[in-house]
Amino acid sequence: MAKKTKRAAGASRKNGSSAEYKAVIDDLVIGNRILYDQGVVDGYGHVSARDPRNPERFLLSRARAPGLVQPSDIIEFGMDGEPIRDDGRPVYSERFIHSEIYLARPDVNGVVHSHSPTVVPFTVTNVPLKPIRASFFYPEVPLFDTRDVAGWTNLLISNRELGRALAEKLGKNSVVLLRGHGNAVVGPTVRLAVYRAVYTEANAKLLLQARMLGGPINYLAPEEAAIMESSQTRHRPGHGTDRIWELLKSEAIARTGRPKTLDRGAAQRCDAR
């Protein structure tokens, strides 16, 4: 009887792990497509998730346009930024953004890197990106410049040294700007990281419009932001990020098609690795 109970408990943990892994893969695939549909990414940009089976690894698509990502494209990476199993598929050169942020921030489980078009001008001017609706901009939105670390480069975060410096500049914030390049956005889940990436772009548009009107801008106060964040980070069905995710997911599927699902057998095989 004891052996049967032990086997049943082990099977339950395995099935739970597989289900959690599949759910993260699904969010990762849909997150890529949402970011494309919302114009946050185009053929470039990527989103990752910390592996729910092993916090010392993360999941990221093979090098592919975000709007085309399928579950079968997802690769498991170590914290050195290299694939756990190199099967010859091309990988993103800027995967070190993800690996070094996960190393520096145990609280982060989702990372988005994009060239969000309305955000980029704020990376090359002296105009700070401040919150109008983006409560997650506090404490601040810092700016990272590759020249401070490596001199003249192609601006890409293509090695661990640059990734580590970027993670250091991010600090305890949710968004960091990359001069002349884009931004990186983090969250405790993939869904929240994607939500924040979408609303970073939306806030940049609002700020640009407000500045065009002229005069002083009455920004979101830190106290207001704290209240807003306390509700946004809680899972409330039908409210907050849950409602937005449902809407953005349906819009992305309508535009890009429904992605293939990760069948149970594939999830169990991945879980056994």
Going by C-alpha positions, the residue among 119, 268, 128, 135 that lies closest to residue 196 is: 135
- Which two three-digit tokens encode residue 17? 């792990």
Which among 20, 76, 82, 94 is annotated as catalytic?
Answer: 94
The one-letter code for the residue type at 212 is: M
d(CA 82, CA 57): 10
Active site residue 94: yes
**Burial letters 130-159, b for 16+ CB under 10 A, else e:** bbbebbbbbebbbbbbbeebeeeeebebbe
Conformational region of residue 141, where left means phi above 0, alpha means psi within -120 to 50, and beta covers everything else: beta
Residues annotated as catalytic (active site), given as ranges? 94
